[in-house]
Amino acid sequence: MNSSKSGIQEEPITTTELNGLRCLVLGGTGFIGLHLCQRLAESGAKVRSFAIPPALGTRRTTFGNQIDWMWGDFGDAELVRESLRNIDVVFHLISTSLPASSNEDPRADLSSNVLSTLQMLEAAKALSIQKVIFFSSGGTVYGIPNRTPIPEDHALNPICAYGVHKVVIEKYLYLFHHLWGLNYVVLRPSNAYGPGQAIHRPQGAVAHFVRKMIDREPVEIWGDGNAVRDYIYIDDLIDACMRAVTYDGPSRVFNIGTGKGHTLLELIAAIESLMGEKADIHFRDARHVDVPINILDVSRARNELSWRPAVSLQTGLRLLFEKIVEMPAVS
């Protein structure tokens, strides 16, 4: 096995396989999108990013000159169609809502995500795009599971509008494939974390908790802290995405997680151990949008994508912490 802390697996995607491939990353300035743009550029692909304009250009990377940055609203059908011109593979990472707040305005969630995606798929069909890789949500599309780890064929019963729009987009991808032959892969990631995640936003428990503890602020937990989640390091997630580019097998949907669960209290304890200090935990009432447990079965990705997660939570937390506070690396 040729693996490293970066998550690169045995027989990694080579530059030869992706050299010259024309890729569009919808949402290329977000946490996952930036990592994906960087990996694609490193692999020799020609990369275009489409996203809303960043604040003062702060979301650029060292690969900025190798990426065609295109700014605009995902709801602008003509602009999105223009972004798809001369593209082979589209990575769809854009979401205009968050799981915790999506139920506040389901109509807006539906319009800005599903209708905008439909416009993109129509353009992809017209422009003969080779493949669409859609980032769904392994954390929300299943709802409250009846068994764990959760396989891809588990019933889809999301309890937040965010999860509903992800499921609807998955179904439209299948429809476009069935009627017009549009090639696609759906990735259902668990909770991604790692360097580059916005630590001052409430989304993303790992980065949020680390930031709160560094700033010596109270760490708020919704519920009793025993909710279980599957946390995947960003490099492992991006490696799965890269493998989906060249995948040509029978499956269309893949869970991408670790297959291991940790409670919120266990996550905080791991951060406490890393930082050498205790967190000031404040418990708040549980939210109706939070499921009690979510652990993904990733055997399909192991078997068909020849992929497996390589970074443990403890290692991933250390890598994240080193980036935030420039902590000396531990051999």
Radius of gyration of the chain (CA): 19
CB atoms within 10 A of CB 3: 16
Q: Are 324 and 210 in contact, with CB atoms under 8 Å apart?
A: yes
Terminus-to-terminus CA distance in the chain, angstroms?
20
Residue 39 belongs to some domain of the structure: yes
pLDDT in tens, 56-108: 444 555 566 789 999 999 999 999 999 999 999 999 999 999 898 899 999 99
Read off φ and ψ for residue 222, nearest 5 degrees: -85, 115
* Residue-level pLDDT at 198: 77
Read off φ and ψ for residue 107, nearest 5 degrees: -65, -45
Q: Which of 239, 222, 241, 245 is nearest to 135 (CA)?
A: 241
Read off φ and ψ for residue 236, nearest 5 degrees: -65, -40
> In one letter, which amino acid is 199?
I
Residue 128 belongs to some domain of the structure: yes
Q: How far apart are CA 129 and CA 24, in angstroms?
A: 10
Query: Residue 157, class by beta-carbon neighbours within 10 Å (0-12 exposed, 13-18 middle, 19+ buried)?
Result: middle
Structural domain harbouring 237: 15-193+231-257
* Residue-level pLDDT at 205: 87
- The CA distances from residue 262 to 94, 193, 238, 259, 272, in Å, are 27, 14, 21, 10, 15
* Residue-level pLDDT at 331: 32
Q: CA quadruple 202, 29, 2, 131: dihedral positive or negative? A: positive
Residue 87 belongs to some domain of the structure: yes
Given phi > 0 = left and psi -120 to 50 = alpha, else beta, which region is 77? Answer: alpha
Residue 153 belongs to some domain of the structure: yes
Q: What CATH number does the domain containing 134 carry?
A: 3.40.50.720
Angle at 114 between CA 109 and CA 119, to 5 degrees: 135
Residue 145 belongs to some domain of the structure: yes
* Residue-level pLDDT at 204: 81
- Catalytic residue (choose from 142, 162, 184, 233): 162
Residue 290 belongs to some domain of the structure: no
**174 tagged catalytic:** no
- Number of domains, the chain: 1
* Residue-level pLDDT at 326: 54
Angle at 267 between CA 199 and CA 289, to 5 degrees: 75
Q: How far apart are CA 21 and CA 180, in angstroms?
A: 23
Residue 172 belongs to some domain of the structure: yes
Residue 270 belongs to some domain of the structure: no
* Residue-level pLDDT at 16: 53
Q: How far apart are CA 100 and CA 30, in angstroms?
A: 18
The one-digit pLDDT tens for each residue of the chain (331 residues) are: 333 333 334 454 444 579 999 999 999 999 999 999 999 999 999 999 999 987 544 455 556 678 999 999 999 999 999 999 999 999 999 999 989 889 999 999 999 999 999 999 999 999 999 999 999 999 999 999 999 999 999 999 999 999 999 999 999 999 999 999 999 999 999 999 999 887 666 668 898 898 899 889 999 999 999 999 999 999 999 999 999 999 999 999 999 999 999 999 999 999 999 999 999 999 999 999 999 999 999 999 999 999 999 999 999 999 988 887 654 333 3
Q: Are 33 and 54 in contact, with CB atoms under 8 Å apart?
A: no
Query: Residue 191, class by beta-carbon neighbours within 10 Å (0-12 exposed, 13-18 middle, 19+ buried)?
Result: buried
Strand partners, 296: 150
Q: Are 287 and 268 in contact, with CB atoms under 8 Å apart?
A: no
* Residue-level pLDDT at 7: 39
